Amino acid sequence: MRVTLCFGGSILAPEELDMDCIRAVAQMLRALKSQKHEVLVVTGGGRPSRKYIEAARKLKASNTYCDIMGIDVTRLNARLMIAALGDLAEREPLATFEAAIRVTLKGKVPVMGGVTPGQTTDAVAAMLASSSKSELLVFFTDVGGVYTADPKLNPRAKKLEVITVRELMRLVTVKKMKPGISMVIDPVGAKLIQRTGIRTLVLGRRDIKRLPEILRGAKHSGTTIVPG
């Protein structure tokens, strides 16, 4: 199976870098490759990215410049993932989808961070999945699924085991996009999922090690996004 995985900055670097999480991801990716899956990876920026963006705003930097700083941090996280994967991965973070697909066809794991100002890594992952004709797109986040509201702000928020793309669009379009924004899937990513109809999962950290089983049909604790 060809699968695109997006590891949100919220799990890679919730405050500081989470090296245990990075090692767990690398171990899981090795397991997927040993089972002959083709894997493409996108990394988010997390709290370090937002710290740089906040600092740049205080210095009166433009939104575009703030976005570029955030992209730089996502690519640093991509480099850490590459270091953890060793020879399994391409040695440099990829900046285009075409290059990532070429690396996949060579049998290696391409790792991407951000690409374009104004775009989150959610959108990058959705575009990479579409460009590579992936059969599955998986987002790993700190909340581990899609909720009726932000569970960090609303204790009554409920996790949805299954949601349609149309319902997802209603949930994510209420937030205004700005550099450093944090949400499970941003509106652009959701729109791309809707357009392509790709099967999509939103999972949490505890499902990282279980992904090989999940790809074989095991249950997960996150959310399945279905067309409709």
The whole-model pTM stands at 0.91
Domain positions in the chain are 7-226
Q: Going residue by residue through the chain (228 aa), what tens digit of pLDDT does each one get? A: 999 999 998 899 988 899 999 999 999 999 999 999 999 999 999 888 999 999 999 999 999 999 999 999 999 999 999 999 999 999 999 999 999 999 999 999 999 999 999 888 989 999 999 999 999 999 999 988 998 888 888 888 888 999 998 888 888 775 554 444 445 777 888 888 888 889 999 999 999 999 999 999 999 999 999 886
- The CATH architecture annotation of domain 7-226 reads 3-Layer(aba) Sandwich (3.40)
Amino acid present at 29: L
Distances (CA, A) of 140 to 52, 63, 152, 165: 23, 26, 16, 17
Q: Which tokens sit at 144?
A: 């581990």
Residue 122 phi/psi, 5-degree rounding, is: -60, -50
Rg of the chain, C-alpha, whole Å: 16
β-partners of residue 203 are 140
What pLDDT shows up at residue 149? 82
Residue with tokens 């793309």: 165
The pLDDT assigned to 174 comes to: 59
Give 36's Cβ-side CA count (13 Å radius).
Answer: 1
> Per DSSP, which regions of 101-219 are E strands?
111-112, 136-140, 146-147, 159-160, 162-164, 199-203
Tell me what pLDDT residue 191 has. Answer: 85
